[in-house]
Structure 1
Amino acid sequence: MIANITVITDNLDYLLWGRMAQGEPGGVLLTLLMAAGAAALALPGGVLLAGLAWRYGGGVRRVLFIWAEFIRGIPLIFVIFWLYFLLPLITGRDLPGALTVTLALAWFTSAAVMHTAYAGLQALPGGQREAAVAGGFSHWQTLRLVLLPQAMRNVLPSFIGLFIALLKDTSLAFIVNVPELTTVAGQVNSRVQVYPAAIFIFTGLVYYLLCSGLGWLISRWRSAPLYQAAK
């Protein structure tokens, strides 16, 4: 049991920060950075696409939903592979693996955000839109000032689930050798070749704490007086 704990304590800095001292973040730190970066891109991107689908019917809406269904219908690992090999061809230069995975996660998650946000808009009473238009608001003002604030509050629990899944999906970065938590745990296991159960139980526990901590923070924020007053 002491040896089990020792293999974690001896490599704890590497598991948490990677080679941060050399300017190369890894481990838990890189996992959080990629998740935060992907969320920061996927949320506004998905909401914007939902707004376009709400505002424009016909061909525009069909194309957006065909794109979203295509992305949601393929494994995320394929999206990571595609961007990892295609982006250097498109840009003409090699991109950091962490950036490529972050973009892949954002692209993949934005499709789910679009579906969720659009469903939230469609669930609002039709009178909300009619009243705003009658009050002199343009379609985009109606969307931005009247409908989206209500829809976002209604779909917040779904967004929480999406972003918790996004945090866990960062583990797929190991497939292109990005040194996030799962990758560095595998590296430690390959190096020491003892007590792999201890290493991967620790890794699973860290993911659990990160995801449950995120859920706890959001629940605390939703119960805060300012949020309740905004409702």
Structure 2
Amino acid sequence: MHHFDWSGIPGALPTLWSGAIITLQITVLAIVVGIVWGTVLALMRLSGIAPLGWFARGYVTVFRSIPLVMVLLWFFLIVPQFLQSVLGLSPDIDIRLASAMIAFSLFEAAYYSEIIRAGIQAVSRGQANASFALGMTYAQSMRYVILPQAFRAMVPLLLTQAIVLFQDTSLVYVISLADFFRTATNIGDRDGTMVEMVLFAGAVYFVICSVASSVVKGLRKKVAR
């Protein structure tokens, strides 16, 4: 029978925090880039310009059809050569972190794109017609009328996807990046407390995601009013 030893957790907190910083960096960047790039992709799909629509549709289809683990591995193999040979960046850059940030940002954009596209289409056509009647261009209508309404309705879905993204960041273990989960398992392997550290890491993820989910439920009720 396993005898649990939790005594090492307090001393491991500073190291775990450094891993949590990596997790948060990936999560925040992927959310920001994913929403911005996802919005562009959604507008491409709805633009009526065939080449842009084909590109956006193909992009979304490709990234939504490939497991995230494979995307991480591919970018880990490709990004280092691109950053160093094409852009001439210093080899001192943390390639694993850069690869993870790029992979997650581009991958999540495909999912955010579909959420945003659905949100835009949910806005009444009469809103666009009214803005055109006021002399607005298509771009002005999207910027000042359609997108603000669409994003207000989409906030719960965008945050739900952000929670999924936060959970998925633990997959960076495949490229040996020391995020929160990887750091926890490294400490557990070093100290012989693997079970305790995995349970502790799982508890942290559970608490964070549960609180975030409660916030999303509250926002969903508020938006539905």
Q: TM-score, normalised by structure 2?
A: 0.87
Equivalences for residues 83-102 of structure 1 within 5 A: 83-91=75-83, 92=85, 93=89, 94=91, 95-96=93-94, 97-102=96-101
Letter in 2 for 1:163: A
Give deviations 1:134-163, integer Å, cap 9, x for gaps: 210000001111100111111111111110
Across the two proteins, how many residue pairs are aligned to each other? 217
Give deviations 1:62-102, integer Å, cap 9, x for gaps: 22111101101101111111111111222225442112201
Query: Which segments of 5 or more consecutive residues in structure 2 lack a partner in the other structure?
Result: none
Indicate the residue corresponding to 1:20 in structure 2: none
Rounded Cα–Cα distance in structure 2 between residues aligned with 1:167 and 1:67: 22
Structure 2 residue 159 is matched with structure 1 residue 160: yes
SS of corresponding position for 1:4: coil
Give deviations 1:146-185, integer Å, cap 9, x for gaps: 1001111111111111100111111011111111111111
Shift of 1:52: 2.3
Structure 2 residue 78 is matched with structure 1 residue 78: no
Give deviations 1:92-125, integer Å, cap 9, x for gaps: 2544211220111111000111111011111222
* Residue identity (%): 24
Equivalences for residues 9-88 of structure 1 within 5 A: 9-17=10-18, 27-88=19-80
SS of corresponding position for 1:11: helix
CA contact (8 A) 2:156 2:220 kept: no
Letter in 2 for 1:147: I
Letter in 2 for 1:75: P
Letter in 2 for 1:146: V
Indicate the residue corresponding to 1:206 in structure 2: 204
Equivalences for residues 108-123 of structure 1 within 5 A: 108-123=107-122
Q: TM-score, normalised by structure 1?
A: 0.85
Rounded Cα–Cα distance in structure 2 between residues aligned with 1:115 and 1:179: 31
Indicate the residue corresponding to 1:169 in structure 2: 168
CA contact (8 A) 1:7 1:199 kept: no
Indicate the residue corresponding to 1:24 in structure 2: none
Query: Which segments of 5 or more consecutive residues in structure 1 lack a partner in the other structure?
Result: 18-26
Letter in 2 for 1:71: F
SS of corresponding position for 2:5: helix
Letter in 2 for 1:76: L
CA contact (8 A) 1:129 1:142 kept: yes
